[in-house]
Structure 1
Amino acid sequence: MNIYGDYGNALVLKRRLQWYGYDPVMLTYDPGDEFPEAPDILIGGGGQDSGQDRIQQDLLDIGQRLHTLADQDIPMLMICGLYQLFGHFFETREGSRISGIGILDAETYGTDSRLIGNVVAESSEFGRIIGYENHSGQTYLGVQVTPLARVTTGEGNNQKDEHEGARYRNVLGSYLHGALLPKNPAVADFLIGTAVEQRFAEKLPELSAPSSAPLSLNALTDQARRTAASRPR
């Protein structure tokens, strides 16, 4: 699934890996494909209810494999629709349930309210996270996960608490589109750094924009973050 620019998250990881001196291989996965043998990073995007219906059975079929990878601390980023299905279930407004795979201890319920607009959230690990939400499903976290961040502008997971996203080990779930990673390089470099350490038993020189990046990179990123954070919802 890929809406609201979520494919941009994969493109960011590929380019930043190149800047760090690696030669990344980016694979796509569609229902029915052979699942990669030893992935280093997994990225998933958002989709409407109809898209979730189409991928549901395949996701359940590979669910145990994904659980194993999660417990091996493989870094993952799941956005919106796949964030919901990495939880226990998504219950539509009509009361039907789309089963999830339960990597994230979370439940999602469809509502008549649409949560839409730019979001600013604070994370103790990643600093300020900025993105764009557009969802009517509202997600509630259980005790086995922690929120990805605390919302200061916008709604995030739901209209009752200040949580945005969820984290279990190195699995990150978020409602933020935009895409998320271009405006949040700290999150991108967390995924990259974790994957590099696991694959090669080495650390990146520093988890920030590499010296080989264009000189304007930080300025453009900062400008995009400031613009998004200042726009009214």
Structure 2
Amino acid sequence: MVPSQMPSQADTPGPGPGAAAAKLALRDQLLTRRHRRPVAEVGTEARLLAGHLLDAAEVRRAATVAAYVSIGAEPGTGLLLEQLLEQGRHVLLPVLLPDGDLDWAPYHGEGSLVPARRGLLEPAATPLGPEAVARADAVLVPGLAVAPDGVRLGRGGGSYDRALARVPVGTFTCVLLYDDEVGLDVPREPHDRPVTAVASPAGVRRFGGAGVTG
């Protein structure tokens, strides 16, 4: 994992307006970096991500996996979703609600996706309700960075913080990132929900001393 040159943890703003401003600045920096990634690199790293996650014990044991459809320069999930289906997993994908919360619906393949707000792709199947994510055995979420203790930086809408709040303690919750987005000093606020692991092209790292695979 390659840490970026960021302020030390001691200098990271705590809860409050300072943390919100610091998050905004960090998001801008990370999004700019993502937009500069070559398309070929994004595709290569998506294949590595899929391999690491499918090899992870928590995903191998999972009957139901909550995931998402990547867009733009996000770490790619298309191959991962198809391989989860091929292995017989029940895959749930988010459906963005008008208030920014997430509902969840079954994924039945790439042809079952329809365009949605904010440039997203969502499953056309009937949604199962926001609480459906609580029944997933593994939850894979997007992000822009993660701190060494699992605090995740999202895009600022709070959708996944609300979803993660519904997931039972002990569930495998994993953010998908590039290597240089792992181990950063992420400003934190009271509503932030940490994840238990991160997957990047270098492997899967579990927080709490469980080590790295891949």
Compute the TM-score of the two structures, normalised by the length of structure 2: 0.29
* Rg larger for: 1
- Counting strand residues as a fraction of each chain, which structure ranks higher? 1
Compute the TM-score of the two structures, normalised by the length of structure 1: 0.27
